[in-house]
Chains A and B, each alone.
Chain A
Amino acid sequence: MTPYMQHEASVAERSRRTESSAAKAKSRQHWLSGIPRVVTLTAICVIFGYPLLWTVLGAFKTPQTFFSNLWGLPAAWSFDNFIQAWSVGHIGQYLINSSIVSASSVALVLVLSLPMSFVLARVKFSGSSIIFGVFLITLFVPLQLLIIPLYELEAKLGIINTYWGLILPYAAGALPFSVVFATSFFRTLPAELDEAARLDGCNLGQTFVRICLPLARPAVATVVILSFLNVWNEFILALTLTQSDSVRTLPIGLYNFSTQMGQTNFPQLFAALTMATVPILIVFLLTQKQFISGLVDGALK
């Protein structure tokens, strides 16, 4: 770890420990407080919240009443748009595809990166620092820039328009972050743990599975959250490497839906938008604390 990363790690650490006391101290030095603060926050809330609320409400309106009742609540709550978008718009199929691709990519990233990170953190072998260095350097390579050679490669391998054609590059693209992040984490675990495990008769693999992996749960959560969010919303690879609705993921399905029939049927488009956003929103609400601290830790690395 560089001094900079150590510093950042300690910042994240401290932020959790001193959250309440720091918040208390801060409350005395805000120049904006009281009514102006409340007004500002409410205004921001409207700018961010209203378009979202409006989308959901719009999804319940009928196409005939949509424009005459642009702002208010639907006159009669209708689920027709959802049903239509689900079946005619194939949103159901896209949801399944996105789930399969995202879950498989994340699982593959974990299976490949965690043991590798453990070994990189614990075993000194010739080339180990080179391997870590390669991942560190490629941390900032956007996968999207590789779209042409990826297309060429997948055409040769014959995996264009398959789930694997998305899962493999997604998992590979998520490796630099997860390896760098997990390796740094494993390095923070005291070496005495391994020592004790070895005395108890564990080999390296057993030490990893029984001792260190359970301790790495926060790091695993961060890797899962970040890679899942990226894969779930990824656009350009999915746009280029899929050709039929049986493989297309939600962002592509949504895009096609909006260009084909969305222009004529806004409520149905909004129903599709709502259904595409709800799954990840549920994941977020269920794991809110972990989700946020995962994002923060991930960014600070």
Chain B
Amino acid sequence: MVLPGLLLFAVFVLWPLVNALANSLFRWDGLSPKVFVGFTNYVQVFTSSTTWQTLQHTAIYAIGTSIAKVVLAFLIALLVARRTRGVGFFRSVLFIPVLMSFVAVGVLWTFIFDPNQGLLNGALGAVGLPNKTAWLGQPGLSLVSVMGVDVWKWLGYHVILFVAGLQAVRPELYEAARIDGAGRAQCFWNVTVPAMRTMIGLNFIIAIAGALNVFDLVYVMTSGGPDGSTDTVMTYMYRQAFNVQQYGFASALASVLFVMVAIITLVQVRSLRSDYNQ
């Protein structure tokens, strides 16, 4: 009962995982035979300025979107944890983007961001604000615009996790705090926030782990442009592999990203566990 699943897993995950690491030690264009080059690819990866640029973009993307998602989702969850009229509808609306693919979301927002006919500039113009902004066309702004769309897509998911967490806070805690004379603000900072620490950490892990290998949204909305301003490690890796057939270099890049994802996840999971054990 165990073997079939294990076999599939070995062939389609474990073996590719080993190969991904192995490939990074070869020069290989997909056609001619692989040539062993040792750590040359890694040297090239770390000496390429594009690598550092894409790493920087990826870091900004991961940190920025995860902070925005966690903070906004937490605040919204506080508003909708209470069941009042319309809250069900609100939660559903917030949740629809979670169901959509990044492609659908990306295509939709590319049009909303359109400088001339887009919805966003139209809305800004209607209330008298500057309405000629090229949201995706300016190197200084494009990354932030794409990040905003990522937050838009995933916010509902984090709200739902926070709502579940808030509803699990024991009511006795609030009662005890009130008996001790705590006001609303004190209740929030001394009861809600500590009780939600694990939940906040969990949301961070999910958000960061997802954002580190961001690809779909960037590929659909900007393809890394303009001028490389939204290029991330994943889009760079994909281009190196499937556009210019530098499979060895791309594998080295993928391995670096993999190690980053692994380290960050491990560190976060560990700190969450020690949090709980305290």
Contact = CB atoms under 8 A, between A and B. Distances in A.
Interface of A: 2-4, 7-8, 11-12, 14-15, 18-32, 37, 40-41, 44-45, 47-49, 51-52, 54-55, 67, 70-71, 108, 112-113, 115-116, 118-120, 131, 134-135, 138, 140-150, 152-153, 168-169, 171-173, 175-176, 179, 205, 208, 229, 232-233, 235-236, 240, 250-252, 254-255, 258, 262, 266, 269, 273, 276-277, 280-281, 284-285, 288, 292, 295-296, 299-300
Interface of B: 1-2, 4-6, 8-9, 11-17, 19-20, 23, 76, 78-83, 86, 90, 92-97, 99-104, 107-112, 117, 119, 122, 152, 155-157, 160-161, 164-171, 174-175, 184-185, 187-188, 192, 198-199, 202, 206, 209, 213, 215-216, 219-220, 234, 238, 241-242, 247, 250-251, 254, 257-258, 261-262, 265, 272-273, 276-277
Contact of A250 (B101, B213, B234, B254): B101
B168 A29 contact: no
B180 to A, nearest CB: 14
Contacts of A49: 93, 96
Nearest to A47: B152
Residue from B1, B5, B19, B188 whose CB has the most chain A CB atoms within 10 Å: B5
Contacts of A26: 81-82, 166-167, 169, 171, 174
Contacts of B16: 146, 149-150, 153
Given A15-B167, A235-B103, A29 B188 contact: yes
A8 B167 contact: no
Contacts of B247: 148
Contacts of A280: 99-100
A232 to B, nearest CB: 7
Contact of A277 (B99, B111, B157): B99
Given A26-B82, A172-B12, A296-B160, A141 B174 contact: no
B273 A22 contact: no
A259 to B, nearest CB: 9
A12 B262 contact: no
Contact of A54 (B19, B92, B119, B188): B119
19 contacts: A4-B277, A11-B165, A18-B168, A24-B171, A30-B79, A48-B94, A49-B93, A134-B14, A138-B14, A146-B13, A148-B241, A171-B8, A175-B5, A175-B8, A251-B104, A277-B100, A284-B95, A284-B99, A299-B206
A interface: dominant SS: helix
A156 B132 CA distance: 51
Contact of B78 (A8, A30, A168, A277): A30
Q: Which of A27, A48, A143 is most buried by chain B, counting CB atoms within 10 A of its CB?
A: A48
A236 B237 CA distance: 12
A30 B2 contact: no
B215 A235 contact: yes
Nearest to A254: B103
A262 B108 CA distance: 11
A111 to B, nearest CB: 8
A163 B187 CA distance: 55
A178 B181 CA distance: 47
A4 B206 CA distance: 16
B261 A22 contact: no
B13 A233 contact: no
Given A140-B262, A235-B102, A299 B20 contact: no
Contact of B167 (A4, A18, A113, A146): A18
Nearest to B13: A172
Contacts of A47: 152
B146 to A, nearest CB: 15
Contacts of A20: 83
Report which residue of A70, A131, A148, A262 has the largest number of chain B beta carbons within 10 angstroms of its beta carbon: A148
Nearest to B120: A51
A292 B184 contact: no
Contacts of A23: 81-83, 167
B225 to A, nearest CB: 14
B80 A131 contact: no
Contacts of A120: 2
Contact of A25 (B95, B157, B174): B174
Given A30-B82, A51-B112, A70-B119, A25 B15 contact: no
Report the 5 A-B pairs with minimum CB-CB distance, sorted nearest first. A172-B12, A25-B171, A112-B5, A149-B16, A149-B19
Contact of A2 (B110, B202, B273): B273
A150 B5 contact: no
A140 B160 contact: no
B20 A146 contact: yes
Given A41-B86, A41-B90, A4 B2 contact: no
B187 A29 contact: yes
Nearest to B185: A31
Given A12-B168, A277-B99, A281-B96, 15 more contacts: A3-B273, A4-B276, A23-B167, A29-B187, A29-B192, A48-B155, A55-B108, A134-B14, A148-B241, A150-B12, A150-B16, A175-B5, A205-B1, A235-B215, A251-B102
